[in-house]
Amino acid sequence: MKGKYVIFDLDDTLMYEIDYLESAYREIASLLDEHNKDHLYQDMITWYYENKDVFGLLEEKYSRAKIELLDIYRNHFPVIKIGKDVREVFNYIIQNSYKLGLISDGRSVTQRNKLKALDIEDFFDKIIISEEFGSTKPDLRNFEIFMDNENFEYFYIGDNTKKDFIAPNKLGWVTIALKDAGKNIHKQDFDVAQEHKPQFIVNSLKEIVNLIN
């Protein structure tokens, strides 16, 4: 019987990227205006949802905004939490001696800080982050690196129909999309070419347990 390798995307799959954004905005608001940080934070969130240039508006309002807002956004240690579903699924995977992997596009410090804040970094047998690895999804290499043993069945769980499922579909993996519950930064579109489509769509991560059995 083949072993099982269950590999996840990070942003908007294991955590909501909007939670990271909100954490960064709170950090920036506190640095720019400690006495009015809550009001400034609310302004920033409003600007964001109005599709305005948040950092540009901050630079107009605060001369000290030249303190590299983008660097603060990318490098801050976020205040974020892992969902109950993620813990339950990870526990199931570990209890059944399946292997656990992660493929995530992004900067090393940003993605590693997310994993540390969520307290899940040590769960994974292998982590591929694009800046560290040198290529981004849907490059086949980001996925093939996991295929060092032919005695495994591979599962990939993601959310982004533009790039998440192309490579694992080509490699014959089981591909699963976590349906957007209305919080994803990048909106899903399942009306795409066949190579972009996941084989399964779930409403919660707990549903993947039945698919990997």
Q: Are residues 129 and 193 in the same domain?
A: yes
Listed residues 75, 94, 115: the one ending a domain: 75
The Cα 145–Cα 147 span in angstroms is 6
Listed residues 28, 47, 75: the one ending a domain: 75
Q: Are residues 8 and 35 in the same domain?
A: no
* CATH number of residue 11's parent domain: 3.40.50.1000
Q: Are residues 48 and 59 in the same domain?
A: yes
* Of 9, 5, 7, nearest in space to 161 by CA: 9
Q: Are residues 97 and 63 in the same domain?
A: no
Residue ranges making up the domain that contains 110: 3-15+81-212
pLDDT tens digits, one per residue of 3-47: 999 999 999 999 999 999 999 999 999 999 999 999 999 999 999
Q: Give the total number of structural domains in the chain.
A: 2
Peptide linkage before 138 cis (omega within 30 of 0): yes
Residues 6+ apart with CB under 8 A from 35: none
Residue 213 pLDDT level (bands cut at 50, 70, 90) = confident
Q: Are residues 97 and 200 in the same domain?
A: yes
Listed residues 48, 75, 102: the one ending a domain: 75
- If one compares 150 and 54, the residue with the highest pLDDT of the two is 54
Mean pLDDT within 159-186: 95
Mean pLDDT within 93-100: 96
Q: Are residues 68 and 151 in the same domain?
A: no
Return the pLDDT at 64: 63
